[in-house]
């Protein structure tokens, strides 16, 4: 989870209203609740609408592909530069809300739902990255902390549909989708009303194809980018498998109870993003990211023993894993942005973003199919492959003395 950053302008200091960051964070949370909206109701759709087993993998992968296409199109056309970013955010949030409602009107088969999720992913490119740009317009200094909060809002938004399902124990899947649509629409309107364009907004550079070579040839950028790729190998595959892990451990639990567990496991990553950003000011972003990446890998390797462990041990294991799998995300973006040549920062981050999300599509589909064929205990340890390779790639950055903090390794998105 990352986004191209823009450099702050040299605009004079302007008082920043206290409500700006909370309003952006709430709007971000509301808009990104669209990301996993259908995942929260897939079991119902499989039972009532006849969706095939493993549908969650296809639906999530469709969102990822849509997001990849959307970020490229939005960046190439400079949409958030040519138009006010808060109005881009508002328009995309309302469109995403309409797409969520459209699931009630189209035939409930896998093909039509995949197309809707593809369109939703495309629209999310105007919500998550654009929300970060809106924050950058208000934060010339302290941007790392602000974006760390917003990544936490993204993680919480990802978990939100499961939270809604947990609260509405008797809700039908249609009710959950309506609730998500209303939340997304309300967040969009909040952004329009409460957050004017900030004084530090400036035009971001267009994508430069030459920046693709920087990912391979520039050692510091290569280190953080490949660490990020290892993170993306694990992240979304883990999100898709969490409901299966919970259902395996608590098969007799109600749908609301299982959703509450999923919400807690995914949502705890929001806390990790904030705490990781604070810790990075002292220890350095590379070390914080590597510690979280390594701990997540250990959780994956321990899964054959922990998946059926006593309740207390199981809960500690899975919540720790949920904490680590998201908490390293802000640091990878910060490191890549700080190490990339200034003239190519936006392009480097855009290409890294596209490669990372493309990798997540493969792991979502692969791990979903493998879990159905061989069982979770046999498959979950393979989630450690990406983090282990990411740790190897990050080693040169971790060996550096974390001087010049927070400029070198503060938490951003």
Least confident of 212-226, 307-321, 380-394: 212-226
CATH topology of domain 17-196: Growth Hormone; Chain: A; (1.20.1250)
Average pLDDT for 155-161: 90
Domain spanning 206-413, CATH class: mainly alpha
**What is the band of 405 on the pLDDT scale with cuts at 50, 70, 90?**
very low
Average pLDDT for 149-161: 87
Least confident of 76-90, 116-130, 221-235, 353-367: 76-90
| Per-residue pLDDT tens over the stretch 277-306 | 788 878 888 999 999 999 999 999 999 999
Q: What is the pLDDT, as a whole number, of residue 1?
A: 54
Query: Do 17-196 and 206-413 come out as alike in CATH topology?
Result: yes
**What is the band of 413 on the pLDDT scale with cuts at 50, 70, 90?**
very low
**What is the band of 331 on the pLDDT scale with cuts at 50, 70, 90?**
confident
For residue 33, give both structure tokens: 């609740």
Candidates 332, 360, 336; CA nearest to 233 is 360
**Is the predicted pLDDT of residue 313 greater than 70, yes or no?**
yes
Average pLDDT for 342-363: 85
For residue 405, give both structure tokens: 């903090």
Least confident of 107-116, 143-152, 170-179, 347-356: 143-152
Whole-number Å distance between alpha carbons of 275 and 273: 6
**Is the predicted pLDDT of residue 109 greater than 70, yes or no?**
yes
> Exposure of 76 by Cβ count < 10 A (0-12 exposed, 13-18 middle, 19+ buried)?
exposed
| Per-residue pLDDT tens over the stretch 203-235 | 666 777 887 888 888 999 999 999 999 999 999
Q: What is the pLDDT, as a whole number, of residue 3?
A: 45
Render the burial of 358-369: b for 16+ CB within 10 Å, e for the rest: ebbbebbbebbe
Whole-number Å distance between alpha carbons of 55 and 212: 33
Q: What is the pLDDT, as a whole number, of residue 260?
A: 94
* pTM of the entire predicted model: 0.84
**What is the band of 400 on the pLDDT scale with cuts at 50, 70, 90?**
low
For residue 390, give both structure tokens: 């990411």
Whole-number Å distance between alpha carbons of 358 and 7: 27
> Exposure of 49 by Cβ count < 10 A (0-12 exposed, 13-18 middle, 19+ buried)?
middle
Which residue ranges make up each domain of the chain?
A: 17-196, 206-413
Please give the mean pLDDT across all residues of the chain: 86
Crossing angle of helices 173-194 and 143-167, in 10° steps, is 150
Q: What is the pLDDT, as a whole number, of residue 128?
A: 85
């Amino acid at each position: 989870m990352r986004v191209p950053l823009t450099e702050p302008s040299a605009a004079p200091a302007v008082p920043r209203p206290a409500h700006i960051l909370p309003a952006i964070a709430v709007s971000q949370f509301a808009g990104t609740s669209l990301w996993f909206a259908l995942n929260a109701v897939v079991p119902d759709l499989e039972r009532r609408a006849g969706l095939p087993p493993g549908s969650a993998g296809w639906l999530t992968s469709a969102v990822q592909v849509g997001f990849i296409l959307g970020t490229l199109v939005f960046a190439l056309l400079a949409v958030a530069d040519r138009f006010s970013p808060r109005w881009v955010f508002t328009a995309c949030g309302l469109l995403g809300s309409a797409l969520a409602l459209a699931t009630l009107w189209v035939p409930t088969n896998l093909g039509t739902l995949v197309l809707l999720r593809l369109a939703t992913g495309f629209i999310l490119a105007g919500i998550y990255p654009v929300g970060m740009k809106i924050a950058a317009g208000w934060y010339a200094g302290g941007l790392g902390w602000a974006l760390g909060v917003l990544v936490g809002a993204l993680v919480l938004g990802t978990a939100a549909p499961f939270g809604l399902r947990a609260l509405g124990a008797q809700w039908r899947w249609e009710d959950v989708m309506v609730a998500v649509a209303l939340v997304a629409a309300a967040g969009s309107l909040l952004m329009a009303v409460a957050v004017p364009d900030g004084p530090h907004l400036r035009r971001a550079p267009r994508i430069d194809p030459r920046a693709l070579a920087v990912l391979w040839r520039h050692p510091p950028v290569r280190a953080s980018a490949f660490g990020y790729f290892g993170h993306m190998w694990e992240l979304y595959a883990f999100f898709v498998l969490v409901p299966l892990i919970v259902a395996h451990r608590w098969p007799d639990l109600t749908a609301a109870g299982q959703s509450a567990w999923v919400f807690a496991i995914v949502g705890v990553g929001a806390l990790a993003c904030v705490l990781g950003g604070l810790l990075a000011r002292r220890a350095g972003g590379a070390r914080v990211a590597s510690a979280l990446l390594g701990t997540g890998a250990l959780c994956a390797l321990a899964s054959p023993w922990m998946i059926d462990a006593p309740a207390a041990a199981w809960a500690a294991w899975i919540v720790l894993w949920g904490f680590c799998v998201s908490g390293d995300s802000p640091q990878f973006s910060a490191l890549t942005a700080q190490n990339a040549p200034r003239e190519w920062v936006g392009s480097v981050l855009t290409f890294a973003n596209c490669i990372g999300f493309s990798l997540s599509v493969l792991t979502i589909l692969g791990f979903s199919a493998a879990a159905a064929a061989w069982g979770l205990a046999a498959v979950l340890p393979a989630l450690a492959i990406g983090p282990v390779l990411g740790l190897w790639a990050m080693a040169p950055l971790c060996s550096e003395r974390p001087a010049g903090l927070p400029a070198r390794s503060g938490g951003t998105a």
